[in-house]
Chain A
C-alpha cells in the first residue's frame, strides 16, 4: 500500500522566517496531494492542495511544489507568524474523493 514519509517531525522557526516541510510517497498512482493544518483539539483543515498535472501552486504565504518523477512534494510557508504554529500533515490520494493517506505530521512552532 501507499507509504507517506514526512520530515522533519518537529520544526521551530523565528517569526518572519520561512518553514519548509518535505514529504515522499511510494504509489505512482497518486495524483492528489493535499496539505492539512491541525491545531490542538481541532479538525484537520485543508490549507492547500496540488494535483499531478501541476508542478507548483501558491496561495499568499503558502506554496507547494511537486516532483512526481521523484515522488516528493514540499510545503513552503514564508513570513511565518505565531498563528502558523500547528501540526501540518502532508497527504496523498488518487483523486480528491478517494481515501487519503496521511503522513506522520510536522509540529511547527513559530517563536515570536
Chain B
C-alpha cells in the first residue's frame, strides 16, 4: 500500500491556460474525492466518485472544472481557462465502502500557482 499519490506536486501556469492533475488512490479504494485548500483555510469539497461514477459535485465548482475517473482507478481533475482565484492546493483522498467504517486517506496534493 503506497498511499494516495498525486501528480504533479507543483504546477505553475499562466492565466487562461488549461491544467490537468492526476490522482492515484489506494488500490481497491472505490471512493475518490477531490478537495481544494487555499492558504489559511480548511479543505473545501469539490467532487467525489464511487468507482467510475461521479456521485456529487459541489455547487461552488465552476463549469471550468471537470473531473473523471474512467476506469474506476485513477482520476483526473482538469481546470480550463485558469484564473488567479484558482491558485490553491488541490487534494485528493480515497476510501473504501467495502472495508467497514474507514476514514479517508489524503494525498500530498498538487499546488497550483496562476501567474
A-side residues, CB < 8 A to B, are: 32, 34, 42-46, 49, 51, 89, 91, 95-97, 99-105
Q: Which residues of A contact B42 (CB under 8 A)?
A: 89, 91, 102-105
Q: Which residues of B contact A99 (CB under 8 A)?
A: 33, 45, 48, 56
Q: Which residues of B contact A97 (CB under 8 A)?
A: 31, 95-97, 101-102, 104
The total of interchain contacts (Cβ-Cβ below 8 angstroms) comes to 52
Q: A43-B108, A43-B109, A96-B101 are in contact. Are A101 and B95 (CB under 8 A)?
A: no
Mostly, the B contact residues are loop
Instruction: Output the residue of A89, A100, A104, A105 with the most chain B CB within 10 A.
Output: A100
Q: Is the C-beta of B91 less than 8 angstroms from some C-beta in chain A?
A: yes
The chain A residue with its CB closest to the CB of B43 is A102
B103 interface neighbour in A34, A42, A104, A105, Cβ under 8 Å: A34
Interface pair B43/A89, CB less than 8 Å apart: yes
Nearest chain B CB to A3 CB, angstrom units: 12
Bound CA span A96–B33, Å: 12
Q: Is the C-beta of B28 less than 8 angstroms from some C-beta in chain A?
A: no
Bound CA span A27–B102, Å: 21
